[in-house]
Amino acid sequence: MDRRSPNPHKTIAAAQRAKDAGIEVIVVAVGKEVDDAEITQIASGPIAGHKITISDYTDTVSLKHKFYSLICP
């Protein structure tokens, strides 16, 4: 997502359909100018575990341990 999705209403609705189908939605937002309200609505709950914000793409390496803890609690 580059700050915001092109159509936030459709993006949030699609995420909700996925969550309703039992899919856990994990949001990885990159940068400081992301729309926090939008990614909060997209992510599954609990939000603290499903909404991840990193400063730039070089930080993706740090996500490995976060994903391991989500997949194998």
Chain centroid offset of residue 45 CA: 11
Looking at residue 2, its pLDDT comes to 54
Looking at residue 37, its pLDDT comes to 93
Looking at residue 1, its pLDDT comes to 43
* pLDDT string in tens for the chain (73-residue length): 457 788 999 999 999 999 999 999 999 998 888 899 999 999 999 888 889 888 888 888 878 877 777 777 6
Instruction: Please work out, in degrees rounded to the nearest 5, the angle formed at the alpha carbon of residue 12 by the alpha carbons of 11 and 18.
Output: 90
* E strand or H helix at 67: helix 63-71
Looking at residue 68, its pLDDT comes to 77
